[in-house]
Amino acid sequence: MFNIASIYPFTEGCRFDFDYYLEKHMPLSIERLSKAEGFHSVRVERGLALEEANIPCSYVAMCHYYFDTVEHFMAAFMPHAQELQGDIQNYTDIQPIIQINEVAIAISSEPMQ
Q: What is the pLDDT of residues 53-104, one digit of tens each?
A: 999 899 999 999 999 999 999 999 999 999 999 999 999 999 999 999 999 9
pLDDT of residue 109: 83
Contacts for 45 with CB less than 8 Å, ≥ 6 apart: 61, 62, 63, 64
Residue 113, pLDDT score: 56
Question: Tens digits of per-residue pLDDT, 13-61?
Answer: 999 999 999 999 999 999 999 999 999 999 999 999 898 899 989 999 9
pTM for the complete prediction? 0.90
In this structure, whether the domain defined by 2-102 belongs to CATH 3.30.70.100 is answered with yes
Q: Which pLDDT score is estimated for 42?
A: 96
Query: Exposure string (b/e) for 42-78, b if CB count within 10 Å is 16 or more?
Result: bebeebeeeeeeeeeeebbbbbbbbbeeeebbeebbe
- Classify residue 1 as exposed, middle or buried by CB count within 10 Å of its CB (0-12, 13-18, 19+): middle
β-bridge pairing 39-46 and 2-9 = unpaired
Phi, psi of 23 (to 5 degrees): -95, -20
